[in-house]
Amino acid sequence: MRRLIRSSATLVVLLLGTGTATATDLHPWGNHAAPFAFKFGNDIDTHQETRVQPDGDLTGFFYVRFTGIVTKDGYRVATHMDCGAEAGCTVGWLLSGKPIRATFLYAEMHDHPVFLVNRADLPQPGAYSHFHWLSGMPEPDQTAAGYVLELGAVDTFCFIHHEAEVATGDKTCRDNGGIQVRPFWDTASHLNIVTSYPSSTRR
């Protein structure tokens, strides 16, 4: 409970105490320089910087890059980029994670791969909504080690995971295929876990 209070308090202080500051001020991309040297061993490493705490948990930053487009409903469009290759990445979320195992179920085009998580493995209390695996992508029905992640947004934007470059200012965030992200806990933009799955449809 103390950890949740500390985590929530940190997020509140960052959100309320920055005033007119932007997410850019939180932690410029450092290309995994210590102490934020943890790597998952796959594509997420191009836009995350985290460190392993003494208890095995992760804490760090999840980055986006703003495209310059503002949607019809007033949201700046942001997406993930390879921050090591392109300039302009800023912190979109504070990230925390806990190590668990999950079973890969399926992947749909332009969405996050979906994993089956044991409900009892979801940390409580918390707002954990994304599982990310270590190393290579597992095969369907394969159980993988990884981390279940909790994201605390530190800015307001329209997050588009794929094909953000085709977003236009004459459409709303939703009509552009995006998710409206506002400061505080975000359980929508990277949601990819379920706690049950029909056995008759398993591959």
DSSP string covering the chain, please?
-HHHHHHHHHHHHHHHHSTT--GGGT----TT-TTS-B--SSGGGGSEEEEE-TTS-EEEEEEEEEEEEE-TTSPEEEE---TTTSS-EEEEEEEEEEEEEEEEEE--TTSPPEEE--GGGS-SSS-EEEEEESSSPPPTT-EEEEEEEEEEE-S-EEE-SS-GGG--TTS-TTTTT-EEE-SEEE-STT--EES---GGG--
Q: What is the pTM of this model?
A: 0.87
Please compute the mean of the pLDDT values over residues 74-86 and round it to a whole number: 96
Nearest to 95 by CA among 59, 130, 128, 125: 59
Tokens of 188: 């929508």
State yes or no: pLDDT of 178 exceeds 90. Answer: yes
Confidence label for 16 from pLDDT (cuts 50, 70 and 90): very low
Contact 56, 155 (CB under 8 A): no
Residue-wise pLDDT tens digits, 102-146: 999 999 988 999 999 999 999 999 999 999 999 999 999 999 999
Please compute the mean of the pLDDT values over residues 70-94 and round it to a whole number: 96
Contact 192, 113 (CB under 8 A): yes
Q: Could you give the number of structural domains in the chain?
A: 1
Place of tokens 């200012």: 169
Whole-number Å distance between alpha carbons of 43 and 52: 19
User: What residue numbers bound the domain in which 93 lies?
Assistant: 2-201
